[in-house]
Amino acid sequence: MNNKSQYKTKQRAEITAYLMSKSGEHVTVNDVCKHFEEMGKPIGVTTVYRQLDKMVEEGIVNKYTLDSKSSACYEYVDEHDHSHGLVKCYHCKCDKCGKVIHLHCSEIEEIFKHIEDKHEFVINSKRTVLYGLCEECRKAEA
């Protein structure tokens, strides 16, 4: 193995470790690059995109594009979710501040299952976003 492929393998391992540390959170390519820049180990944007795309293909990272105005977000799929596919993630986006909240909610799954069973329509949970107001923005308006 040459130094170039060892370096890429090391970068992939570091990116994976970062994503694992952010398990349950969404991160953007800019978040990843900023993290490594702050650590004094800058990784190029192209490298981050390439590694994340590979991880998405392998099923260890999910990619979400919430709307045309936002950057794509990535989320590490932990081993339990990856091996059993048990937990789906649903997204809520605040109309006022833009905050994205993700939910792992069996009640939403029941609604999607109802739509599939009774209306013969399968909803793509990775592309479904519910819009409304987050708690902070609701309090600010009260």
CATH of the domain at 75: 1.10.10.10
Residue 20: HSE in the Cβ half-sphere, 13 Å Cα cutoff: 11
Between 127 and 4, where is the model more confident?
Answer: 127
Dump pLDDT digits (tens) for 32-46: 999 999 999 999 999
Residues 74, 25 share a domain: yes
9-13, 77-81, 102-106: which range is least confident on average? 77-81
Domain count, the chain: 2
Residues 142, 113 share a domain: yes
Q: What is the mean pLDDT of residues 67-94?
A: 69
Residues 35, 69 share a domain: yes
Asked if residue 140 lies in contact with residue 95, where contact means CB atoms within 8 angstroms, the answer is no
Residues 43, 107 share a domain: no
Q: Check residue 36 and give its pLDDT.
A: 96
* Three-state SS at 92: strand
Range of the structural domain that residue 28 is part of: 1-85
Between 70 and 83, where is the model more confident?
Answer: 70
Q: Check residue 29 and give its pLDDT.
A: 95
